Amino acid sequence: MEKIATREAYGRALERLGHVREDVVVLDADLSGSTKTALFARSFPERFFNRGVAEANMIGHAAGLALCGKTVFASSFAMFAAGKAWEQIRQSVCVPNLNVKVVASHAGITVGEDGASHQALEDLACMRVLPNMTVVVPADGPQTEAAVEALAAFEGPAYMRVSRAATPVLEGGPPFELGKARLLRQGSDLGLVACGVEVAACLEAAELLAAEGVECAVLDCHTLAPLDCEALLALARDCGRLLTVEEHQVTGGLGEAVCGVVADSPAPVPVRRHGMRGEFGQSGPAATLLRHYRLDGPGVATVAREFLEELG
């Protein structure tokens, strides 16, 4: 199975975009080797700006460039982009509704050995609460490349989370479209709703459960804001119960977003949120941490069994 880190796909797509869009400029906070914006910097040094370890200044600079008509991509680790620069993203980008795309890498527990200090598990909650902000979490390399192109064509603020760890390239499913979730697997017993690296885990879990006679649908909810309410409600009607899976705190993330949609519907269904529950991550290999927190395929399958048993 082919694997690629979504940060690698981001770097490649950004460099390719630079050849066809002269208005695209890229900023980084002294982490271009890790965020992979270095690929763009080598090809277009006159359109690349390293702002140093000063994420707040980077966002202010990005806002100024956007006011000059540029399409701006600004990158750092998620812990710093969403954490240290949140005020500037709110005040300088979202309030005036500027064309700045914040692409943050090294989020979630798959950051691995860097440990709790660098494993951003709250970034999606911080970003999806902001008015005017589009929030995207691609599931694999090809989807990341498509998302870069879509965000470049889209006018307005955006936040995209990409991962450090290499993840499987998924097969099949409809093409990427901002705001439109992708149904990757049909099923009627349980709907699995995921984003980012957890989409592959849910597909693996669905295969394991199918061997036991449990048919799970898998919905790739790559855009958290705006959420595809129509697809979520259709899945709820077809399956009668939903399990959300995310490499993020269950508070404020995908799970709560789905719960809000379902609770506001005329016919709500049971929803179980699965992710990090009010704790920081720990240091270790990405695969080990996913297994420990039951966020790998077998772990998700176990949580799904428990949920179905509780419901009877």
Q: What per-residue confidence (pLDDT) applies to 174?
A: 86
Q: What is the average pLDDT value for the chain, to the nearest integer? A: 96
User: Are 294 and 301 within 8 A, CB to CB?
Assistant: no
Sign of CA dihedral 35, 36, 38, 44: negative
> Tens of pLDDT along 138-162?
999 999 999 999 999 999 999 999 9
Amino acid at 32: S
Structure tokens that stand for 69 in this block: 């008509």
Q: What per-residue confidence (pLDDT) applies to 267?
A: 86
> Tens of pLDDT along 204-263?
999 999 999 999 999 999 999 999 999 999 999 999 999 999 999 999 999 999 999 999
Q: What per-residue confidence (pLDDT) applies to 173?
A: 79
CA angle 83, 88, 90 (to 5 degrees): 90
> Tens of pLDDT along 12-53?
999 999 999 999 999 999 999 999 999 999 999 999 999 999
198 counts as catalytic? no
Residue 312: is its pLDDT beyond 90?
Answer: no
Q: For a pLDDT cut of 90, what percent of the chain falls above it?
A: 97
Classify domain 3-168 at the CATH superfamily level: Thiamin diphosphate (ThDP)-binding fold, Pyr/PP domains (3.40.50.970)
Q: For a pLDDT cut of 70, what percent of the chain falls above it?
A: 100
Is-same-fold flag (3-168; 182-311)?
A: yes
**DSSP secondary structure string for all residues of the chain:** --EEEHHHHHHHHHHHHHHH-TTEEEEESS-HHHHSTHHHHHH-GGGEEE--S-HHHHHHHHHHHHHTT-EEEEEEEHIIIIIITHHHIIIIIITTT--EEEEEESBSGGGGGG-TTT-BSSHHHHHHTSTT-EEE--SSHHHHHHHHHHHHHS-S-EEEE--SSEEEPP--SPPPBTTB-EEEE--SSEEEEE-TTHHHHHHHHHHHHHTTT--EEEEE--EEES--HHHHHHHHHHHS-EEEEEEEESSSSHHHHHHHHHHTSSS---EEEEEE-S----SS-HHHHHHHTT-SHHHHHHHHHHHHHHH-
Instruction: Read off the pLDDT band of 172 (50, 70, 90).
Output: confident
Q: Which CATH class is domain 182-311?
A: alpha beta
Distance CA 163, CA 44 (A): 24
Instruction: Read off the pLDDT band of 1 (50, 70, 90).
Output: confident
The domain limits of the chain are: 3-168, 182-311
Candidate list 55, 122, 204, 247, residue with the active-site label? 55
Structure tokens that stand for 83 in this block: 């954490």
